[in-house]
Amino acid sequence: MASHALVVGAGALGCTALDQLARAGVGRITIVDRDIVEHTNLQRQSLFDEADAHDALPKAVAARNRLARVNSTIGIDAIIADVTPENAESLVAALRPNIMLDGTDNLDTRYLLNDLAVKHAVPLIYAGVIATRGMQLTILPGRSACLRCVFPEPGAAAQVETCDTVGVLGPAVAIAASLQAAEAIRVLAADAAALASRPLPSLTEFDLSSTRFRTIDLGNLHAPAARAHCPCCGERQFEFLSGSRTRPAARLCGSGAFQIHSAAPRTLALPALGSQLARLGPVQANEFFVRLHPREGVELTVFADARAIIRGIETEAEARALYDRYVGS
């Protein structure tokens, strides 16, 4: 009850983990997510329903609304944002979470969260799922191996398959996220002595095509001598947090959409933008976003943090061009 969990990503993993943390009574939960609920999410994103997709609610808001009905005794905050090198550290400084859960679906953000966790000494519970397979790893900064100790470069952990090409099985997500929630509850409920005496984390892997589980002992990867060579937790070069490694534009996994950030941080007055864009065609607007269809089959959704998600186009260059034209740079 006295702890605060920061869950980054309210997609498939985040939904299941959030549900379990809220029901367990974690006293304060902050949900950060950048996207909007769509009908295609409902197969695996268990906090949302058809009404949320119909209303095009931001996932962070829809998740908060649902969890508030599950457990009214806890505090739940929703932040509609992408976690980036620009805002990650101020987020942690402002929220001071006791634990972070990685519910994201892209490697840039996953390695960014690893940097953030190690630099600010916040335990990070990682999980990943593709097709029928999943994995889970707990990172205890200063004690255990970090994500880069185990997978030094994003390419090493990357699958050739993506959720665009092979999809994700709903039950695989639920298992990986349940392992995450169980680890989070263990870490939050432990006092310092219990945490110090528990065995260091293993890497858990499973494949539901055969219902096979495997626990990989990370052995000497946890040892300070081994970690000394890790760029993140050994040398403390936080390359993903500093922005030197992060690719600027993102193709959103599984949705055939692009996300474009403003060149410089800024906040948009959505009502003003809505009336400006309404001169060009029908606009859908609410307190969270303004949406326009620049042409048949193309959808541009602009958020208050000057981010846009653009669907129905083929290339990042075209996404940027539409952003510059309608939102301005």
| Contacting residues toward Zn ion, per CB under 5 A | 146, 148-149, 230, 232-233
Closer residue to Zn ion, CB minimum distance, 54 or 229: 229
Bridge partner residues of 36 (DSSP): 58
Pair of tokens at residue 278: 């309404």
- Shortest separation between residue 3's beta carbon and Zn ion, angstroms: 25
Beta bridge partners of 133: 130, 207
Spatial separation of the C-alpha atoms in residues 180 and 139, rounded to whole Å = 11
Q: How far apart are CA 74 and CA 86, in angstroms?
A: 29
What residue number has its CB nearest to Zn ion?
230
Q: Kindly state the DSSP code that residue 233 receives in the 8-state scheme.
A: T
Give the shortest CB-220-to-Zn ion separation in angstroms: 13
- Name which of 232 and 273 has its Cβ closer to Zn ion: 232
| Nearest to Zn ion of 140, 233 (CB atom) | 233
Tell me how far, at minimum, the Cβ of 232 lies from Zn ion, in Å.
5
What is the nearest approach in angstroms of Zn ion to the Cβ of residue 226?
Answer: 9
The first and second tokens of residue 256, run together, are 């055939």
In the complex, what is the shortest distance from the CB of residue 253 to Zn ion, in angstroms, rounded to a whole number? 25
**Shortest distance, position 109 Cβ to Zn ion, whole Å:** 17
* Residues with Cβ within 8 Å of residue 40, at least 6 apart in sequence: 254, 255
Q: How far is the CB of 63 from Zn ion (least distance, A)?
A: 30
- Toward Zn ion, which CB reaches closer, 3 or 114? 114
Residue 193 or 225 having the CB closest to Zn ion:
225
Token pair 């970090």: residue: 146
Residues contacting residue 101 through CB under 8 Å, at least 6 positions apart? 5, 6, 7, 8, 13, 14, 17, 21, 124, 125, 180, 181, 184
Parallel/antiparallel/unpaired status of strands 28-33 and 75-80: parallel
- Amino acid symbol at 277: L
Closer Cβ to Zn ion, 232 or 250, answer by number? 232
CB nearer Zn ion, residue 244 or residue 284: 244
CA-based torsion, 259, 263, 264, 266: positive or negative:
negative
